[in-house]
Structure 1
Amino acid sequence: MKKIILSIFLIANSLFLTSCAPAIQGASTVSSVISISNDRRSIGKILDDKTIALRLLTWSSEDSTLSDAHLNFMVYNKIVLITGEVPTPEMRVYASKQAQRQVPKISQIFNEIKLGPSSGLLSRAKDSTITIQVELLFQNQEVFHPTHVRVMTEDQVIYLMGALTKREADMAAKTAAKAKGAYKVVKLFDYLKTRPKAEIERDRLKALEDKRRAELEKQQAELEAKKADLQRQIRALGSNTTGTNFSPE
Protein backbone atom coordinates (compact mmCIF):
# COMPACT_ATOMS: atom_id res chain seq x y z
CA MET A 1 0.00 0.00 0.00
CA LYS A 2 2.86 2.38 0.88
CA LYS A 3 4.48 1.71 -2.50
CA ILE A 4 1.26 2.61 -4.32
CA ILE A 5 0.88 5.85 -2.33
CA LEU A 6 4.53 6.73 -3.00
CA SER A 7 4.13 6.05 -6.71
CA ILE A 8 1.06 8.27 -6.95
CA PHE A 9 2.85 11.01 -5.00
CA LEU A 10 5.86 10.87 -7.33
CA ILE A 11 3.65 11.08 -10.40
CA ALA A 12 1.75 14.06 -9.01
CA ASN A 13 5.00 15.74 -8.02
CA SER A 14 6.60 15.21 -11.42
CA LEU A 15 3.47 16.53 -13.13
CA PHE A 16 3.71 19.71 -11.06
CA LEU A 17 7.36 20.17 -11.95
CA THR A 18 6.83 19.63 -15.67
CA SER A 19 3.93 22.09 -15.69
CA CYS A 20 6.45 24.71 -14.59
CA ALA A 21 8.93 23.79 -17.31
CA PRO A 22 8.05 25.00 -20.84
CA ALA A 23 10.86 22.89 -22.38
CA ILE A 24 8.92 19.69 -21.72
CA GLN A 25 5.79 19.45 -23.82
CA GLY A 26 3.32 16.66 -24.33
CA ALA A 27 1.83 16.63 -20.84
CA SER A 28 -1.85 17.38 -21.34
CA THR A 29 -2.66 21.10 -21.34
CA VAL A 30 -6.37 20.27 -21.14
CA SER A 31 -6.03 18.20 -17.96
CA SER A 32 -3.04 18.48 -15.65
CA VAL A 33 -3.56 15.06 -14.12
CA ILE A 34 -2.80 11.79 -15.92
CA SER A 35 -5.64 9.28 -15.90
CA ILE A 36 -3.62 6.30 -14.76
CA SER A 37 -6.55 3.91 -15.10
CA ASN A 38 -6.68 4.59 -18.86
CA ASP A 39 -2.94 4.90 -19.54
CA ARG A 40 -1.56 1.88 -21.38
CA ARG A 41 1.72 2.16 -19.50
CA SER A 42 2.24 0.76 -16.04
CA ILE A 43 2.85 3.12 -13.12
CA GLY A 44 6.51 2.09 -13.24
CA LYS A 45 6.83 3.03 -16.91
CA ILE A 46 5.07 6.33 -16.35
CA LEU A 47 7.54 7.13 -13.57
CA ASP A 48 10.47 6.12 -15.80
CA ASP A 49 9.27 8.42 -18.58
CA LYS A 50 8.80 11.33 -16.17
CA THR A 51 12.25 10.75 -14.70
CA ILE A 52 13.86 10.68 -18.15
CA ALA A 53 12.11 13.90 -19.15
CA LEU A 54 13.20 15.69 -15.98
CA ARG A 55 16.81 14.55 -16.36
CA LEU A 56 16.91 15.75 -19.96
CA LEU A 57 15.45 19.10 -18.97
CA THR A 58 17.99 19.55 -16.19
CA TRP A 59 20.90 18.58 -18.43
CA SER A 60 19.86 20.78 -21.38
CA SER A 61 19.39 23.81 -19.14
CA GLU A 62 22.81 23.38 -17.47
CA ASP A 63 24.96 22.34 -20.46
CA SER A 64 26.85 25.46 -21.61
CA THR A 65 27.30 23.93 -25.07
CA LEU A 66 23.55 24.29 -25.58
CA SER A 67 23.34 27.90 -24.40
CA ASP A 68 22.18 29.05 -27.85
CA ALA A 69 19.80 26.13 -28.35
CA HIS A 70 16.10 25.74 -27.75
CA LEU A 71 15.13 22.12 -27.06
CA ASN A 72 11.88 20.34 -26.22
CA PHE A 73 11.50 16.72 -25.08
CA MET A 74 8.63 14.25 -25.17
CA VAL A 75 9.02 10.74 -23.74
CA TYR A 76 6.89 7.63 -24.10
CA ASN A 77 7.99 4.11 -23.11
CA LYS A 78 11.61 5.31 -22.88
CA ILE A 79 11.47 6.58 -26.48
CA VAL A 80 12.50 10.23 -26.68
CA LEU A 81 11.53 12.88 -29.20
CA ILE A 82 13.74 15.97 -29.31
CA THR A 83 12.57 19.06 -31.17
CA GLY A 84 13.62 22.68 -31.25
CA GLU A 85 16.33 24.74 -32.90
CA VAL A 86 20.13 24.84 -32.76
CA PRO A 87 22.55 27.10 -34.68
CA THR A 88 24.88 24.40 -36.09
CA PRO A 89 24.75 20.82 -37.45
CA GLU A 90 27.38 19.82 -34.89
CA MET A 91 25.18 20.98 -32.02
CA ARG A 92 22.26 19.01 -33.46
CA VAL A 93 24.31 15.79 -33.38
CA TYR A 94 25.73 16.68 -29.98
CA ALA A 95 22.28 17.13 -28.45
CA SER A 96 21.14 13.70 -29.58
CA LYS A 97 24.29 11.84 -28.52
CA GLN A 98 24.60 13.62 -25.21
CA ALA A 99 20.96 12.94 -24.35
CA GLN A 100 21.62 9.22 -24.68
CA ARG A 101 24.71 9.51 -22.48
CA GLN A 102 22.79 11.41 -19.84
CA VAL A 103 20.09 8.72 -19.65
CA PRO A 104 21.39 5.32 -20.85
CA LYS A 105 17.99 3.69 -20.31
CA ILE A 106 16.59 5.61 -23.31
CA SER A 107 15.67 2.97 -25.91
CA GLN A 108 15.40 5.25 -28.95
CA ILE A 109 15.76 8.91 -29.89
CA PHE A 110 13.92 10.75 -32.66
CA ASN A 111 16.00 13.81 -33.50
CA GLU A 112 13.69 16.40 -35.06
CA ILE A 113 15.87 19.39 -34.15
CA LYS A 114 16.03 22.07 -36.85
CA LEU A 115 18.90 24.37 -37.75
CA GLY A 116 18.25 28.03 -37.14
CA PRO A 117 17.64 30.66 -34.47
CA SER A 118 15.53 29.83 -31.44
CA SER A 119 11.80 30.27 -32.00
CA GLY A 120 10.18 33.36 -30.52
CA LEU A 121 7.37 33.63 -28.01
CA LEU A 122 4.76 34.18 -30.74
CA SER A 123 5.77 31.00 -32.54
CA ARG A 124 5.68 29.00 -29.32
CA ALA A 125 2.27 30.45 -28.44
CA LYS A 126 0.92 29.32 -31.82
CA ASP A 127 2.32 25.85 -31.22
CA SER A 128 0.68 25.67 -27.79
CA THR A 129 -2.64 26.71 -29.32
CA ILE A 130 -2.38 23.93 -31.89
CA THR A 131 -1.59 21.38 -29.17
CA ILE A 132 -4.65 22.45 -27.17
CA GLN A 133 -6.81 22.16 -30.29
CA VAL A 134 -5.58 18.61 -30.91
CA GLU A 135 -6.23 17.55 -27.33
CA LEU A 136 -9.75 18.98 -27.49
CA LEU A 137 -10.39 17.25 -30.82
CA PHE A 138 -9.29 13.95 -29.27
CA GLN A 139 -12.11 14.32 -26.73
CA ASN A 140 -14.72 14.22 -29.51
CA GLN A 141 -14.00 10.78 -30.94
CA GLU A 142 -14.53 7.24 -29.65
CA VAL A 143 -11.84 5.18 -31.40
CA PHE A 144 -9.19 5.68 -28.70
CA HIS A 145 -8.94 7.22 -25.26
CA PRO A 146 -7.31 10.71 -25.29
CA THR A 147 -4.75 9.62 -22.68
CA HIS A 148 -3.40 7.03 -25.13
CA VAL A 149 -1.78 9.74 -27.25
CA ARG A 150 0.77 12.38 -26.28
CA VAL A 151 0.99 15.55 -28.33
CA MET A 152 3.77 18.03 -29.06
CA THR A 153 3.73 20.84 -31.61
CA GLU A 154 6.93 22.44 -32.88
CA ASP A 155 6.96 25.05 -35.66
CA GLN A 156 3.36 24.07 -36.54
CA VAL A 157 4.30 20.40 -36.96
CA ILE A 158 2.28 18.06 -34.73
CA TYR A 159 4.11 15.07 -33.25
CA LEU A 160 2.12 12.18 -31.82
CA MET A 161 3.40 9.40 -29.54
CA GLY A 162 1.72 6.50 -27.78
CA ALA A 163 0.91 2.79 -27.96
CA LEU A 164 -1.92 2.38 -30.48
CA THR A 165 -3.34 -0.06 -32.98
CA LYS A 166 -3.15 0.95 -36.65
CA ARG A 167 -6.83 1.90 -36.65
CA GLU A 168 -6.35 4.09 -33.59
CA ALA A 169 -3.17 5.64 -34.99
CA ASP A 170 -4.87 6.52 -38.27
CA MET A 171 -7.76 8.13 -36.42
CA ALA A 172 -5.38 10.08 -34.19
CA ALA A 173 -3.48 11.46 -37.19
CA LYS A 174 -6.69 12.26 -39.09
CA THR A 175 -8.16 14.02 -36.07
CA ALA A 176 -4.98 15.99 -35.28
CA ALA A 177 -4.78 17.20 -38.89
CA LYS A 178 -8.03 19.14 -38.35
CA ALA A 179 -6.29 21.58 -36.00
CA LYS A 180 -6.14 25.08 -37.48
CA GLY A 181 -2.64 26.29 -38.23
CA ALA A 182 -1.08 22.83 -38.37
CA TYR A 183 1.43 22.24 -41.16
CA LYS A 184 1.67 18.46 -40.92
CA VAL A 185 1.32 15.51 -38.54
CA VAL A 186 4.16 13.12 -37.67
CA LYS A 187 3.27 9.72 -36.17
CA LEU A 188 5.83 8.18 -33.81
CA PHE A 189 3.68 5.40 -32.43
CA ASP A 190 4.49 2.10 -30.82
CA TYR A 191 2.05 -0.02 -32.83
CA LEU A 192 -0.05 -2.71 -31.15
CA LYS A 193 -1.50 -5.69 -33.03
CA THR A 194 -4.62 -5.62 -30.89
CA ARG A 195 -6.02 -3.64 -27.99
CA PRO A 196 -4.96 -4.91 -24.53
CA LYS A 197 -7.20 -7.72 -23.26
CA ALA A 198 -7.75 -5.99 -19.93
CA GLU A 199 -8.97 -2.91 -21.77
CA ILE A 200 -11.36 -4.93 -23.92
CA GLU A 201 -12.74 -6.69 -20.83
CA ARG A 202 -13.16 -3.37 -19.04
CA ASP A 203 -15.11 -1.99 -21.99
CA ARG A 204 -17.25 -5.15 -22.10
CA LEU A 205 -18.13 -4.83 -18.43
CA LYS A 206 -18.86 -1.14 -18.88
CA ALA A 207 -21.17 -1.92 -21.81
CA LEU A 208 -23.02 -4.46 -19.65
CA GLU A 209 -23.31 -1.96 -16.82
CA ASP A 210 -24.58 0.73 -19.22
CA LYS A 211 -27.15 -1.74 -20.60
CA ARG A 212 -28.29 -2.69 -17.10
CA ARG A 213 -28.57 0.97 -16.12
CA ALA A 214 -30.54 1.75 -19.29
CA GLU A 215 -32.97 -1.09 -18.55
CA LEU A 216 -33.47 0.14 -14.98
CA GLU A 217 -34.08 3.68 -16.24
CA LYS A 218 -36.60 2.31 -18.78
CA GLN A 219 -38.41 0.36 -16.05
CA GLN A 220 -38.42 3.43 -13.83
CA ALA A 221 -39.86 5.53 -16.65
CA GLU A 222 -42.59 2.92 -17.26
CA LEU A 223 -43.48 2.85 -13.57
CA GLU A 224 -43.63 6.64 -13.46
CA ALA A 225 -45.88 6.64 -16.52
CA LYS A 226 -48.21 4.05 -14.93
CA LYS A 227 -48.23 6.02 -11.70
CA ALA A 228 -49.13 9.22 -13.54
CA ASP A 229 -51.89 7.43 -15.47
CA LEU A 230 -53.31 5.96 -12.25
CA GLN A 231 -53.34 9.40 -10.64
CA ARG A 232 -55.24 10.79 -13.63
CA GLN A 233 -57.81 8.02 -13.31
CA ILE A 234 -58.23 8.69 -9.57
CA ARG A 235 -58.70 12.42 -10.22
CA ALA A 236 -61.23 11.64 -12.94
CA LEU A 237 -63.22 9.34 -10.64
CA GLY A 238 -63.17 11.96 -7.90
CA SER A 239 -64.42 14.60 -10.30
CA ASN A 240 -67.27 12.39 -11.52
CA THR A 241 -68.35 11.54 -7.98
CA THR A 242 -68.43 15.20 -6.92
CA GLY A 243 -70.49 16.27 -9.91
CA THR A 244 -73.20 13.56 -9.53
CA ASN A 245 -76.54 14.65 -7.96
CA PHE A 246 -78.72 12.08 -6.23
CA SER A 247 -82.42 13.01 -5.70
CA PRO A 248 -84.85 10.98 -3.57
CA GLU A 249 -87.86 9.42 -5.27
Structure 2
Amino acid sequence: MALTAGAVLVAGLTACVPLVVGGAAAAGVGMVATDRRSSGAQVDDQAIELRAGARVREIANDQMYVSVTSFNRQVLLTGTVGTEADKRRVEDVVKRVDNVRSVVNELVVGPPTSFQERSNDTFITGKVKASLLDAKDIFANSFKVVTERGTVYLLGIATRRETDRATDIARGVSGVTKVVRVVEIVSEAELQNQLQQQQQQPQGQPGGTGAPAGSSAPASRSSVPLPPMEPLPPLPSSSTPPASGGVTTSPVR
Protein backbone atom coordinates (compact mmCIF):
# COMPACT_ATOMS: atom_id res chain seq x y z
CA MET A 1 0.00 0.00 0.00
CA ALA A 2 2.85 2.36 0.80
CA LEU A 3 4.50 1.71 -2.58
CA THR A 4 1.23 2.26 -4.39
CA ALA A 5 0.62 5.52 -2.56
CA GLY A 6 4.13 6.67 -3.41
CA ALA A 7 3.61 5.87 -7.08
CA VAL A 8 0.36 7.82 -7.14
CA LEU A 9 2.03 10.78 -5.43
CA VAL A 10 4.87 10.88 -7.95
CA ALA A 11 2.45 10.66 -10.86
CA GLY A 12 0.40 13.46 -9.39
CA LEU A 13 3.43 15.72 -9.12
CA THR A 14 4.55 15.17 -12.71
CA ALA A 15 1.03 15.81 -13.95
CA CYS A 16 1.36 19.47 -12.91
CA VAL A 17 3.82 20.37 -15.70
CA PRO A 18 3.65 19.92 -19.49
CA LEU A 19 7.11 18.33 -19.72
CA VAL A 20 8.85 15.63 -17.72
CA VAL A 21 12.63 15.14 -17.72
CA GLY A 22 13.88 11.55 -17.61
CA GLY A 23 15.71 9.84 -14.79
CA ALA A 24 19.30 10.70 -15.73
CA ALA A 25 19.16 14.06 -14.01
CA ALA A 26 18.45 12.31 -10.72
CA ALA A 27 21.36 9.88 -10.98
CA GLY A 28 23.78 9.92 -8.05
CA VAL A 29 27.46 9.28 -7.71
CA GLY A 30 26.89 5.57 -7.09
CA MET A 31 25.18 5.23 -10.44
CA VAL A 32 28.34 6.34 -12.24
CA ALA A 33 30.19 3.34 -10.85
CA THR A 34 27.56 0.76 -11.86
CA ASP A 35 26.32 2.17 -15.17
CA ARG A 36 27.56 0.78 -18.47
CA ARG A 37 27.65 4.26 -19.94
CA SER A 38 30.89 6.17 -19.57
CA SER A 39 30.92 8.89 -16.93
CA GLY A 40 31.05 11.43 -19.75
CA ALA A 41 27.95 9.96 -21.38
CA GLN A 42 26.08 10.02 -18.07
CA VAL A 43 26.89 13.70 -17.58
CA ASP A 44 25.86 14.41 -21.16
CA ASP A 45 22.56 12.58 -20.64
CA GLN A 46 21.75 14.84 -17.71
CA ALA A 47 22.61 17.90 -19.78
CA ILE A 48 20.64 16.66 -22.79
CA GLU A 49 17.50 16.12 -20.74
CA LEU A 50 17.73 19.58 -19.19
CA ARG A 51 18.54 21.34 -22.47
CA ALA A 52 15.91 19.40 -24.44
CA GLY A 53 13.36 20.19 -21.74
CA ALA A 54 14.12 23.88 -22.05
CA ARG A 55 13.84 23.70 -25.83
CA VAL A 56 10.47 21.96 -25.70
CA ARG A 57 9.16 24.50 -23.21
CA GLU A 58 9.94 27.24 -25.71
CA ILE A 59 7.44 25.75 -28.16
CA ALA A 60 5.06 24.12 -25.67
CA ASN A 61 1.30 24.58 -25.73
CA ASP A 62 -1.59 23.30 -23.63
CA GLN A 63 -1.80 20.10 -25.69
CA MET A 64 1.77 18.98 -25.09
CA TYR A 65 2.70 16.46 -22.42
CA VAL A 66 6.22 15.39 -23.38
CA SER A 67 8.71 13.19 -21.53
CA VAL A 68 12.40 13.40 -22.52
CA THR A 69 14.67 10.49 -21.61
CA SER A 70 18.30 10.32 -22.72
CA PHE A 71 20.47 7.22 -22.53
CA ASN A 72 24.00 7.22 -23.90
CA ARG A 73 23.19 10.45 -25.79
CA GLN A 74 20.20 8.92 -27.55
CA VAL A 75 16.82 10.45 -26.76
CA LEU A 76 13.43 8.81 -26.34
CA LEU A 77 10.39 11.08 -26.64
CA THR A 78 7.15 9.82 -25.09
CA GLY A 79 3.86 11.45 -24.23
CA THR A 80 1.17 13.24 -26.23
CA VAL A 81 0.87 16.25 -28.52
CA GLY A 82 -2.06 17.91 -30.24
CA THR A 83 -1.01 17.62 -33.89
CA GLU A 84 1.45 15.89 -36.21
CA ALA A 85 3.09 19.28 -36.71
CA ASP A 86 3.74 19.55 -32.96
CA LYS A 87 5.20 16.05 -32.99
CA ARG A 88 7.66 17.04 -35.73
CA ARG A 89 8.51 20.34 -34.04
CA VAL A 90 9.40 18.62 -30.77
CA GLU A 91 11.65 16.16 -32.57
CA ASP A 92 13.34 18.92 -34.58
CA VAL A 93 14.25 21.03 -31.53
CA VAL A 94 15.50 18.01 -29.58
CA LYS A 95 17.68 16.81 -32.48
CA ARG A 96 19.53 20.13 -32.40
CA VAL A 97 20.51 19.87 -28.74
CA ASP A 98 24.26 19.47 -28.23
CA ASN A 99 25.55 15.87 -28.12
CA VAL A 100 22.26 14.21 -29.19
CA ARG A 101 23.13 11.25 -31.41
CA SER A 102 19.61 10.27 -32.45
CA VAL A 103 15.96 10.67 -31.44
CA VAL A 104 13.34 7.94 -31.12
CA ASN A 105 10.03 9.79 -31.44
CA GLU A 106 7.23 7.84 -29.75
CA LEU A 107 4.95 10.85 -29.21
CA VAL A 108 1.26 10.15 -29.78
CA VAL A 109 -1.14 12.63 -31.34
CA GLY A 110 -4.17 12.71 -29.07
CA PRO A 111 -5.49 13.72 -25.67
CA PRO A 112 -3.11 13.61 -22.68
CA THR A 113 -3.11 10.62 -20.38
CA SER A 114 -5.35 10.73 -17.34
CA PHE A 115 -4.16 10.82 -13.75
CA GLN A 116 -5.12 7.16 -13.38
CA GLU A 117 -3.18 6.17 -16.50
CA ARG A 118 -0.06 8.00 -15.33
CA SER A 119 -0.35 6.39 -11.91
CA ASN A 120 -0.68 2.98 -13.55
CA ASP A 121 2.36 3.63 -15.77
CA THR A 122 4.43 4.58 -12.72
CA PHE A 123 3.30 1.42 -10.97
CA ILE A 124 4.17 -0.73 -14.01
CA THR A 125 7.63 0.85 -14.23
CA GLY A 126 8.25 -0.04 -10.59
CA LYS A 127 7.11 -3.62 -11.12
CA VAL A 128 9.32 -4.07 -14.20
CA LYS A 129 12.36 -2.66 -12.37
CA ALA A 130 11.70 -4.95 -9.41
CA SER A 131 11.37 -7.96 -11.72
CA LEU A 132 14.67 -7.11 -13.42
CA LEU A 133 16.35 -6.83 -10.03
CA ASP A 134 14.96 -10.22 -9.01
CA ALA A 135 16.39 -11.89 -12.11
CA LYS A 136 19.72 -13.57 -11.37
CA ASP A 137 20.93 -13.92 -14.97
CA ILE A 138 21.01 -10.25 -16.07
CA PHE A 139 22.38 -7.00 -14.69
CA ALA A 140 19.35 -4.81 -13.91
CA ASN A 141 21.30 -1.54 -14.25
CA SER A 142 21.89 -2.37 -17.91
CA PHE A 143 18.42 -1.03 -18.66
CA LYS A 144 16.41 2.11 -18.04
CA VAL A 145 12.65 1.56 -17.95
CA VAL A 146 10.05 4.04 -19.22
CA THR A 147 6.32 3.30 -19.40
CA GLU A 148 3.69 5.18 -21.40
CA ARG A 149 0.07 3.95 -21.61
CA GLY A 150 1.08 0.42 -20.76
CA THR A 151 3.92 0.31 -23.31
CA VAL A 152 7.28 -0.40 -21.67
CA TYR A 153 10.41 1.04 -23.25
CA LEU A 154 13.73 -0.60 -22.42
CA LEU A 155 16.76 1.61 -23.00
CA GLY A 156 20.28 0.35 -22.48
CA ILE A 157 23.57 -1.12 -23.63
CA ALA A 158 23.29 -4.90 -23.58
CA THR A 159 23.98 -8.13 -25.38
CA ARG A 160 21.33 -9.85 -27.45
CA ARG A 161 20.81 -12.44 -24.72
CA GLU A 162 20.34 -9.79 -22.04
CA THR A 163 17.95 -7.82 -24.24
CA ASP A 164 15.80 -10.87 -25.01
CA ARG A 165 15.77 -11.87 -21.35
CA ALA A 166 14.79 -8.39 -20.17
CA THR A 167 12.05 -8.33 -22.82
CA ASP A 168 10.62 -11.62 -21.60
CA ILE A 169 10.65 -10.34 -18.01
CA ALA A 170 8.88 -7.10 -18.94
CA ARG A 171 6.26 -8.92 -21.03
CA GLY A 172 5.44 -11.07 -18.02
CA VAL A 173 4.51 -8.09 -15.83
CA SER A 174 0.77 -7.57 -15.47
CA GLY A 175 -0.52 -4.43 -17.19
CA VAL A 176 2.20 -4.36 -19.88
CA THR A 177 0.61 -4.19 -23.33
CA LYS A 178 3.78 -3.93 -25.43
CA VAL A 179 7.56 -3.81 -25.01
CA VAL A 180 9.72 -1.56 -27.19
CA ARG A 181 13.48 -2.11 -27.08
CA VAL A 182 15.66 0.96 -27.68
CA VAL A 183 18.92 -0.84 -27.03
CA GLU A 184 22.50 -0.67 -28.27
CA ILE A 185 23.31 -4.32 -28.95
CA VAL A 186 26.90 -5.31 -28.20
CA SER A 187 28.66 -8.66 -28.24
CA GLU A 188 29.90 -10.33 -25.08
CA ALA A 189 33.50 -9.55 -26.09
CA GLU A 190 32.69 -5.88 -26.78
CA LEU A 191 30.92 -5.61 -23.45
CA GLN A 192 33.85 -7.07 -21.52
CA ASN A 193 36.30 -4.79 -23.33
CA GLN A 194 34.12 -1.76 -22.61
CA LEU A 195 33.82 -2.58 -18.92
CA GLN A 196 37.58 -3.11 -18.62
CA GLN A 197 38.24 0.26 -20.25
CA GLN A 198 35.87 1.98 -17.83
CA GLN A 199 37.54 0.30 -14.84
CA GLN A 200 40.96 1.47 -16.04
CA GLN A 201 39.75 5.05 -16.62
CA PRO A 202 41.11 7.46 -13.95
CA GLN A 203 38.40 8.49 -11.51
CA GLY A 204 36.80 11.81 -12.37
CA GLN A 205 37.92 11.68 -16.00
CA PRO A 206 35.15 11.08 -18.58
CA GLY A 207 35.45 7.85 -20.46
CA GLY A 208 34.36 6.78 -23.91
CA THR A 209 30.94 6.88 -25.45
CA GLY A 210 29.82 3.41 -24.42
CA ALA A 211 28.76 2.74 -28.01
CA PRO A 212 29.45 -0.51 -29.86
CA ALA A 213 32.82 -0.99 -31.49
CA GLY A 214 33.12 0.84 -34.79
CA SER A 215 30.54 3.50 -33.96
CA SER A 216 31.31 7.08 -33.08
CA ALA A 217 29.77 9.77 -30.91
CA PRO A 218 30.67 13.37 -30.19
CA ALA A 219 32.85 14.10 -27.20
CA SER A 220 31.24 15.54 -24.11
CA ARG A 221 30.89 19.31 -24.22
CA SER A 222 28.50 19.73 -21.33
CA SER A 223 28.74 22.76 -19.09
CA VAL A 224 26.96 24.01 -15.98
CA PRO A 225 24.83 26.05 -15.58
CA LEU A 226 22.86 25.10 -18.69
CA PRO A 227 20.34 27.93 -19.19
CA PRO A 228 20.17 30.49 -20.63
CA MET A 229 20.91 29.20 -24.10
CA GLU A 230 21.41 30.78 -27.48
CA PRO A 231 18.33 31.21 -29.72
CA LEU A 232 17.24 28.24 -31.77
CA PRO A 233 19.17 27.87 -35.04
CA PRO A 234 17.17 27.85 -38.31
CA LEU A 235 15.68 24.57 -39.46
CA PRO A 236 17.98 22.55 -41.74
CA SER A 237 17.09 22.48 -45.42
CA SER A 238 17.09 18.69 -45.54
CA SER A 239 14.64 16.66 -43.50
CA THR A 240 16.62 13.43 -43.84
CA PRO A 241 16.89 11.85 -40.38
CA PRO A 242 20.35 11.01 -39.03
CA ALA A 243 21.60 7.47 -38.69
CA SER A 244 20.47 5.62 -35.61
CA GLY A 245 24.02 5.26 -34.25
CA GLY A 246 23.80 1.55 -33.49
CA VAL A 247 20.49 1.53 -31.62
CA THR A 248 18.07 -1.30 -32.23
CA THR A 249 14.45 -0.16 -31.90
CA SER A 250 12.31 -3.25 -31.77
CA PRO A 251 8.63 -3.33 -30.76
CA VAL A 252 7.57 -6.62 -29.20
CA ARG A 253 3.88 -7.22 -28.56
Q: TM-score normalised to the size of structure 2?
A: 0.65
Query: Contact (CA 8 Å) 2:133, 2:140: kept in 1 or not?
Result: yes
Q: 4+ residue runs of structure 1 moved beyond 4 angstroms?
A: 26-29, 31-34, 198-202
| Residue 78 (structure 1) aligned with residue 73 (structure 2) | yes
Indicate how the Cα distance of structure 1 residues 112 and 27 shifts in structure 2: closer, same or farther if over 3 A, else same: same
* Separation in structure 1 between the aligned mates of residue 179 and residue 81 of structure 2, nearest angstrom: 22
> Could you tell me how far 1:52 is from its partner in structure 2?
0.1
- SS of 1:144's equivalent in the other structure is coil
Deviations 1:134-184 (A, max 9, x none): 110011112222111001000110000100000000011111112211101
- SS of 2:33's equivalent in the other structure is coil
* Separation in structure 1 between the aligned mates of residue 42 and residue 155 of structure 2, nearest angstrom: 14
**Partner amino acid for 1:135?**
K
Corresponding residue for residue 55 of structure 1: 51
Indicate how the Cα distance of structure 1 residues 198 and 163 shifts in structure 2: closer, same or farther if over 3 A, else same: closer
Deviations 1:178-221 (A, max 9, x none): 2211101000100001132475899xxxxxxxxxxxxxxxxxxx
Aligned counterpart for 1:181 among listed residues 158, 163, 175 = 175
Corresponding residue for residue 169 of structure 1: 163
* Separation in structure 2 between the aligned mates of residue 156 and residue 187 of structure 1, nearest angstrom: 14
* Separation in structure 2 between the aligned mates of residue 67 and residue 87 of structure 1, nearest angstrom: 9
Structure with the largest fraction of helix: 1
Counting matched residue pairs gives 181
* Separation in structure 1 between the aligned mates of residue 195 and residue 137 of structure 2, nearest angstrom: 13
Query: Contact (CA 8 Å) 2:20, 2:68: kept in 1 or not?
Result: yes
Query: Contact (CA 8 Å) 2:48, 2:73: kept in 1 or not?
Result: yes
Corresponding residue for residue 68 of structure 1: 63
Aligned counterpart for 1:89 among listed residues 84, 87, 90 = 84
- SS of 1:196's equivalent in the other structure is helix
Higher relative contact order (CA 8 A, sep 6+): 2
Deviations 1:78-137 (A, max 9, x none): 110101111111111111111112x04211100101110111211111100000001100
**Partner amino acid for 1:59?**
R
Q: Determine which structure has more spread, i.e. the larger CA radius of gyration.
A: 1
Indicate how the Cα distance of structure 1 residues 198 and 72 shifts in structure 2: closer, same or farther if over 3 A, else same: closer
- SS of 1:179's equivalent in the other structure is coil
**Partner amino acid for 1:140?**
D
Give the gaps of 5 or more residues in structure 2: 1-13, 199-253
* Separation in structure 2 between the aligned mates of residue 48 and residue 154 of structure 1, nearest angstrom: 24
Query: Contact (CA 8 Å) 2:78, 2:108: kept in 1 or not?
Result: yes
* Separation in structure 2 between the aligned mates of residue 201 and residue 190 of structure 1, nearest angstrom: 18
**Partner amino acid for 2:86?**
M
Indicate how the Cα distance of structure 1 residues 130 and 28 shifts in structure 2: closer, same or farther if over 3 A, else same: farther
User: Among the aligned pairs, what percent are the same residue?
Assistant: 28
> Could you tell me how far 1:58 is from its partner in structure 2?
2.2
Corresponding residue for residue 112 of structure 2: 118
Query: Contact (CA 8 Å) 2:44, 2:99: kept in 1 or not?
Result: no
Query: Contact (CA 8 Å) 1:26, 1:152: kept in 2 or not?
Result: no
Query: Contact (CA 8 Å) 1:53, 1:73: kept in 2 or not?
Result: yes
Query: Contact (CA 8 Å) 1:164, 1:191: kept in 2 or not?
Result: yes
- SS of 1:132's equivalent in the other structure is helix
* Separation in structure 1 between the aligned mates of residue 166 and residue 121 of structure 2, nearest angstrom: 18
Moved more, 163-172 or 136-145: 136-145
Aligned counterpart for 1:39 among listed residues 35, 41, 49 = 35
* Separation in structure 2 between the aligned mates of residue 49 and residue 71 of structure 1, nearest angstrom: 17
Indicate how the Cα distance of structure 1 residues 71 and 133 shifts in structure 2: closer, same or farther if over 3 A, else same: same
Give the gaps of 5 or more residues in structure 1: 1-17, 203-249
Corresponding residue for residue 139 of structure 1: 133
